[in-house]
Amino acid sequence: METTVSDEVRPAEPPRGGRRWRRRLVAALAVAGPGLVAANAGNDAGGIATYASAGAQFGYRTLFFMVLVTVGLVVVQEMCARLGAYTGVGLGALIREQFSIRVSAFALLCFVVANVGLVVSEFAGIGAAMQLLGVSRYVSVPIAAAAIWGLVVFGSYRYAEKIFLVLSLAFLAYPVSAILAHPDWPEALGRLSLPHFVASKDFLLLGVALIGTTITPYMQFYVAAAVADRGIGPADYPRERVDTVAGSIFADLISIFVIIATAASITTRAPLDSAAQAATALEPVAGRFAGQLFGLGLLGASALAAAVVPLSTSYAVAEAVGVESSVSRGFRQAPVFLGLFTGQIVVGGAIALIPGNLIELLVRAQVLNGIITPILLVYVLILANRRSVLGKAANGPVFRTVATLCVTVVAILSVTVLVQTILGWFGVGDGS
């Protein structure tokens, strides 16, 4: 006999407004994916330190520069996500297939060098964050390394991705702090909408660091590989494109608020010396608990990137040599992929235990990324332009022009900084 649920025990129908709200939330979470994870991973320990340094050292003057960087990030991330969706493989595999062995090896070497420094800085960021929370880095770093390793190796990719997204919610403290700090909004909006650059070596170095921490090479490799790993194809790409573009814009809005909050809270225009000094930007939100709140934000940002950075390296190397590259496999099926990931976690955690100036280390790592970034962006641009790779989805004339301009500007700035750095080794141009 068919049974029915009586009216007395049947759950009440939720209001229509509640159903609509839930549908919108579900739709938003469904869209969120590799693009959002990759872009927000760029707001890692090095990113937050660099944006905070920009606000402390130059006030609102770097805001328009961040608008230009955001355009570049959207263009680059969209190309990488499109490559992953339409080819079904990551950048490492595409570079191996489309370029000679020497050219591919050079790209991979640049990528690995940049990422090794970043992995160290992420665990250094975790250590600094936990020190602000009253926990020694000699305790927190090993525990964090083991937790991140276990999450990726023994957990599912989709579960890990949701954890990454939850961790990124810590970034929402910065817009609130920026508003409560009562910044000079007319000046901030003016700097944001009109070009303004400072003719100094420090501003140029910081500009390249902003590029390096925003358009980070590992983000490009990660988003392409993650899109392919999730099985997102051409039919699903319109939704993934929304995820990628929205994620990039959201991440850079957070970055802009970090600069505004720091510029409003720290009035002495000088480079930051410590994480504790950077924490003062959150005093309008947390008062005397600003250090703890900054510590939580730094912990979330660092943990997010501490998983994504070594994963992107493992994806790139495994794809380049043609072996299994998926977080869904075990050590027997993907020994190279998971072995590389494990090695980076161990090395990064170990080196991060060496005492040092966190802020200086993080900003220097972003400058290194900024110098290496244009090299890898050239590969991305060539791949996205080739109809033999993407067919009708290849860059059109307008997009190709915009993308080429972005890569060219980044390259010019990076070469300028590299030349100045080399000249500085010989004592030339130190006073500029």
Across the chain, how many H-helices and E-strands are there?
A: 20, 0
Give the C-alpha separation, 372 to 334, whole Å: 28
pLDDT at position 216, please?
82
Task: Report the interhelical angle of 290-320 vs 101-132 (nearest 10°).
Answer: 160
pLDDT tens per residue across span 55-81: 989 989 999 989 999 999 999 999 999
For 136-199, the DSSP string reads -HHHHHHHHHHHHHHHHHHS-HHHHHHHHHHHGGGGGHHHHHHHHT---HHHHHHHHHS-----
Indicate if the pLDDT at residue 431 is higher than 70.
no
Average pLDDT of the chain is 80
Return the closest-CA partner of residue 112 out of 328, 318, 406, 299.
318
pLDDT in tens, 164-219: 667 667 667 788 888 888 889 999 999 998 887 887 888 888 888 888 888 888 88
H-assigned helices in 353-386? 358-385
Residue 367 near residue 208 (C-beta atoms within 8 A)? yes
Q: How far is residue 116 from each of residues 36, 216, 226, 262, 292, measured CA to CA in Å?
A: 23, 13, 20, 28, 28
Residue 46 has pLDDT above 70, yes or no: yes
302 membership: H or E segment, kind and range: helix 290-320
> Is it the case that residue 111 has pLDDT exceeding 90?
no
* Nearest to 122, CA basis, from 315, 365, 318: 365
Tokens representing residue 31 in the block? 């869209």
Given a cut of 60, whether residue 7 has pLDDT beyond it is no
pLDDT of residue 28 exceeding 50: no
DSSP 39: H
Choose the CATH number for 32-425 among 3.40.50.300, 1.20.1740.10, 3.30.70.100, 3.30.43.10.
1.20.1740.10
* Strand residues in 201-339 grouped as ranges (E): none
C-alpha distance from residue 40 to each of 45, 315, 429 (Å)? 11, 19, 36
- Mean of pLDDT values over 99-109: 89
Helix (H, G, I), strand (E, B) or coil at 9: coil
Q: Which of 127-136, 386-395, 422-431 shows the lowest mean pLDDT across its residues?
A: 422-431
What pTM was computed for the model?
0.79
